[in-house]
Structure 1
Amino acid sequence: MMLSVEEWTQELDTTFIANRTQLLRVAYKILGDWERSDDVVQDAYIKITEMEAAQKVRQPLAYLFQIVRNLAIDHYRRVVFESELFGVDEEGLQVPTLAGTPETHAINRQHLELVAEALAKLPDRTKRVFELYRIHGYTHRMIADELGISPSLANILIHEATNHCRNAL
């Protein structure tokens, strides 16, 4: 029996709320960070609600778990990639010391200038999302609330800005 859109949405909402803690744990096992896990779980919910054929999913809970797992893995890979690109300290607290060589300072300064130039070329909203995430440590949900956009869009804009900066280097 095929449920109406409203019935299916209500069933999905109930399933999501009842199992949110378990979904968070799945993401946390992969990411090791509760805030990022919460972002992933919210993104999973948004993803399944935006799917055109979501009503055809026979086991929405199993599907939600699979989406959370896949998004957490993608997020983990992205964090690893970004830490390789921008350094190990994800929050930007690791400041280079003056003990480095002049050559290292010159290279770092050039890289910083290239990244600053790349960011200046981005649209204001994309640049703001990137700064909130990389400099101020906002989560996707916090960015979405601050700018009035969806967490999914925040994620996309962060990814675009990161790729733009990487290409500049």
Structure 2
Amino acid sequence: MSQSRFNHVFITQRVSLLRTLERMVNNHSTAEDLLQETYLRVTRALSERAIDHLEPFVFQTARNLALDHLRARRIQSRTVLDDVPLDVVQAVASPLSSAEDAAHAEQLLERLNLSLNQLSARQQQIFILSRLHGHSYLEIAQKLGVSLSTVQKELKLIMAICIGVAQRHDGSGKP
């Protein structure tokens, strides 16, 4: 299928694609960005192989991009930072920090790592699934065969441990 055929399909379906994306992401600007990315992805795919059913392929590409965007947004919103006080977050070294700040942050991460390694296997799984993979509490509970309450309690305990390590590290000025 030629690029000119795709251009015709894209122009014809642009409004419908944009509406679909807007409904999915609830943001016109993001939907426009995803629409542009859809165009680029389909163009790239056409240069690599023939696509028999172009219109459904275009819509599926757009939906997949929107779902990827939503998944990334969900993961970003569920990072460890959500549960950590602002002063603790600000104590972590940035790329422009001094060597002393960087060393301090490295020591803090080592302490956190030691503490997290002392968690039970289930607690480690819960932490990884929640904070690194972005799974919901319900998904974790189902995956591990435990109650939602157990997941919530374990995560609260884990975050308390992390915050306690950070506060002890910063409070004394020494690791």
* TM-score, normalised with respect to structure 2: 0.48
Name the structure where helix makes up a greater proportion of residues. Answer: 2
Which structure has the larger Rg over C-alpha atoms? 2
* TM-score, normalised with respect to structure 1: 0.50
